[in-house]
């Protein structure tokens, strides 16, 4: 059974810092990995989707990498801003009807 782990559960950083959020998964036989952002009381917004054949994806200040063999993904946020404060979830798709398995998320707080 696929398990997705995100550690730590919470992170607080000062504004302007570059930071890395980690995600690990137990079964490397994935089709893709998706990073989401969730604001308090809101739904999930897709940030980046990395196919199994890709190593990384970039969108603005965000860069996500994928290392299937080691079962790891990282989300890099450059020059963090208070508006980046949210919970970040990663999820993997093992291809069985595209059901996603989610990590529990990392709650990020960026201090002004």
Partner 1 sequence: NAGVTQTPKFRVLKTGQSMTLLCAQDMNHEYMYWYRQDPGMGLRLIHYSVGEGTTAKGEVPDGYNVSRLKKQNFLLGLESAAPSQTSVYFCASSYSGVYYGYTFGSGTRLTVV
Residue 97 to residue 112: CA distance in whole angstroms = 43
| Encoded tokens for 85 | 């404060």
Please say whether the beta carbons of 15 and 111 come within 8 A: yes
Nearer to partner 1, 11 or 100 (CB): 100
Nearer to partner 1, 71 or 103 (CB): 103
Is 80 one of the binding residues for partner 1 (CB under 8 A)? Answer: no
CA dihedral 69, 71, 48, 81 (to 10 degrees): -120
Query: Mask of contacts with partner 1, 34-53, x by CB under 8 A?
Result: x-x-----xxxxx--x-xx-
Interface residue with partner 1 among 8, 14, 83, 97 (CB under 8 A) is: 97
Distance of closest approach, residue 42 Cβ to partner 1, in angstroms? 6
Is 55 one of the binding residues for partner 1 (CB under 8 A)? Answer: no
**DSSP code string of 55-103:** SEEEETTEEEEEETTTTEEEEEESS--GGG-EEEEEEEE-SSTT-EEE-
Give the residues lining the site for partner 1 (CB under 8 A).
31-32, 34, 36, 42-46, 49, 51-52, 89, 91, 93, 95, 97-100, 102-105
């Amino acid at each position: 059974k696929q398990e997705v782990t995100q550690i730590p559960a919470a992170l607080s950083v000062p504004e302007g810092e570059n930071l890395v959020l980690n995600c690990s998964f137990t079964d490397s036989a994935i089709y893709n990995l998706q990073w989401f952002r969730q604001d308090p009381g809101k739904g999930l917004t897709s940030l980046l989707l990395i196919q199994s054949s890709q190593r990384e994806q970039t969108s603005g200040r965000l860069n996500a990498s994928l290392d299937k063999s080691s079962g790891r993904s990282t989300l890099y946020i450059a020059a963090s801003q208070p508006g980046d404060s949210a919970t970040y979830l990663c999820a993997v798709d093992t291809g069985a009807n595209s059901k996603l398995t989610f990590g529990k998320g990392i709650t990020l707080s960026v201090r002004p």
